[in-house]
Structure 1
């Protein structure tokens, strides 16, 4: 089932694969092996493939030579710090869309974001066509305004009235005129649906910003889709057994920021243990 194979000519018997196996699925005989009774415990994380120093190990039919080498591959601490501090919530976008091939490439990379117990149940639903986005923007805005006109906004969401007042005046408060939308969803019975979706979206945001793409966490749309117009999920084709956790609008920014901001440090305390 796991297609676990070891090239004995390359294997140096370092035992790193067995030591790094989370559930102890791999054991050492003369060479690493997975007993048949342990196969069902494998969570398919591929740590064994990644940790093998000689590319001797294959699992799930993966060729280790097709994986990217990690030597000297990570950004410097300084460049990573600047990316984290320099990303801004973008609310001004150019009308043109981002190259669909680039978007899908970014999403392929984002699929490497970690999930609890490697369940990988997060689904990212994308609108990559600016024309379709304009159509969706109009439909969602009108549906939300209709809820407001009928006085059906729940008391706990009364703050939405202020945003929808702007929409009624012709401002795109919900989507900020962004040409694209990304929605993260997951089944509620997943081990950690909220964290899984937010981690994936955070990965996408930083990766998109590194390519010069602007992003904004779209909490207003999430509230509209989950609290005002729940049929939006079906409109997007989000699986019925999923909950919408978060959303992000993105596109080519029509604004350029030249420096980081200077925020006070967060509340940090040393645990007394």
Structure 2
């Protein structure tokens, strides 16, 4: 049951919900309704709740008064452009735990990211404290060392062997950059687009994290270890066996402050025209 409800005294029969429904299951009789046999087609997108001008529609147990108004403050086009252009990959982090409430706030914001077929099944595997982060770091470096000793480290990842040796000899952490926190996004393999969904959601997390003064670093090396070098790491951190790994993001308080954005190497564009 999708629990589609209409407050009839608020419904003005404008038909906006019917027109905007992606699967066309809403009808007006004259108030909005969804036939029981049509409910299975609902994408759970909540467009009907969002578009109703009089806040008459509730669905999936969600009420319009609990949603953020589209009249609420949003960044201007210039502010958003500047936010993107001044973003930097952080490789020097402060040795400080972030307030768990802030991490929760940023993850909840990221949970609004779009997903294929509106599956909404992206799972965040989070390390939210430096103690666990140190243990995980040791596990990753140990997995790399073992793969080298057993001569099964793929050639394309030979650089990891060098990083492991540097870590073992000097304590310099090239892979994690001493980040205090880590987030891995995964989604069920059966979903329409699990890897893409995960990476889009991580991108939303990064934008929100940066807006809250946190530094971030996309990390392919941890992802390689989990996916191709030592799958047992999945069990160590509880990633479900039926999940596809999207990517890994390191985050924390930046130990550096940049004065300006960089200058892009240029836009690469393939402009399509199918007109004869």
Superposition TM-score, scaled by structure 1 size = 0.96
SS of match in other structure, 1:181: strand
Aligned equivalents of 2:46 and 2:72: distance in 1? 21
Is the CA contact 1:121–1:186 (under 8 Å) kept in the aligned structure 2? yes
Aligned equivalents of 2:126 and 2:218: distance in 1? 14
- The 5 A counterparts of 1:27-176 are 27-169=27-169, 170-176=171-177
Is the CA contact 1:107–1:204 (under 8 Å) kept in the aligned structure 2? yes
Q: Deviations over 1:121-177 (max 9, x none)?
A: 211100001111112111221221222233220234334334334333322122110
Report the alpha carbon displacement of residue 58 of structure 1 after superposing the two structures with TM.
Answer: 0.7
Gaps of 5+ in 2: none
Q: Deviations over 1:227-269 (max 9, x none)?
A: 1121111111011111222000110100001111001322113
Gaps of 5+ in 1: none
SS of match in other structure, 2:124: strand
Report the alpha carbon displacement of residue 86 of structure 1 after superposing the two structures with TM.
Answer: 0.8
SS of match in other structure, 1:158: helix
Question: Does 1:214 find its partner at 2:215?
Answer: yes
Report the alpha carbon displacement of residue 72 of structure 1 after superposing the two structures with TM.
Answer: 4.7
SS of match in other structure, 2:184: strand
Superposition TM-score, scaled by structure 2 size = 0.95
Partner in structure 1 of residue 251 of structure 2: 250
Aligned equivalents of 1:9 and 1:94: distance in 2? 55
Of 136-145 and 20-29, the range deviating more from structure 2: 136-145
Aligned equivalents of 2:265 and 2:143: distance in 1? 40
Is the CA contact 1:145–1:168 (under 8 Å) kept in the aligned structure 2? no
Is the CA contact 2:143–2:225 (under 8 Å) kept in the aligned structure 1? no
Compute the RMSD of aligned alpha carbons: 1.3
